[in-house]
A = this chain, B = another copy of it.
Amino acid sequence: MSRIDGRLPNQLRPIIIQQDFTKRAAGSVLISAGETVVLCTASVSDELPRCMPKDSTSGWITAEYRMLPGSTSPRSQRADKPDGRATEIQRLIGRSLRAVVDMEKLGAKTVNIDCDVLQADGGTRTLSITGSYIALRTAINKIFPAPKTSPLNDSVAAISVGILNGIPILDLCYEEDSKAEVDMNIVMTGSGKFVEIQGTGEKSTFTQYELNQMLTLAREGIEKLLNDNSLA
């Protein structure tokens, strides 16, 4: 069975990464996977978020995610505040990046990640994680040029998997995603450990066997993603 866009079940969409796409933020990446395009920036400041103690010696990484109105057809309304979906996604991005950074070594700094989707075709949340990691790495490398002092512990990337017409597939485009029985997002480190697993079967529940198939697909996809793009 061939997929909508001719890919094999375990095939990623082509990835294009433009580093330093803009100049104001310490890290800035325009990343695309097929027709999904996200601008990820990493801005560093010496102000800590209010929820942290003022004399903290460790830092924090937080993320915001939005879809620009023109990223979809028909146009989506500009979100004044993050809606339920965006809230979930930006919390996921933040947790994923914090999993590979040593906050003590980062010191009393905040890194603000901004993911703005310029064009949407499925997988915006996982691509935002991968792109944000690259922007974050660029920003951290500027501040901590000596590898010894770098707070980065590992690399991280994310991919979606799902079950469509009973067949597990990797890296779903929008059309596949909207028809899939099961949808799962996996965040994994370069060393092969899980950071997050989020699987949902709203249209259909799934068995332990199907879960195992999807996890295998995701693991191979993330390894390829990190290796082919020299991210690991």
Residues of chain A touching chain B, judged by Cβ–Cβ distance below 8 Å, are 21-25, 28, 35, 37, 39, 41-43, 45, 64, 66, 68-75, 78, 80-81, 84, 87-88, 91, 95, 98-99, 112, 114, 116, 118-120, 154, 184, 189, 191-202, 205-208, 211, 215
Contact = CB atoms under 8 A, between A and B. Distances in A.
Contact of A194 (B45, B78, B98, B211): B211
Contacts of A215: 208, 211
A28 B154 CA distance: 37
Nearest to A191: B205
Contacts of A194: 199, 201, 205-208, 211
A45 B210 CA distance: 37
Nearest to A23: B119
Q: How many monomers of this protein are in the complex?
A: 6
Contacts of A206: 193-194
Contacts of A198: 197-199
Given A24-B73, A68-B114, A99 B205 contact: yes
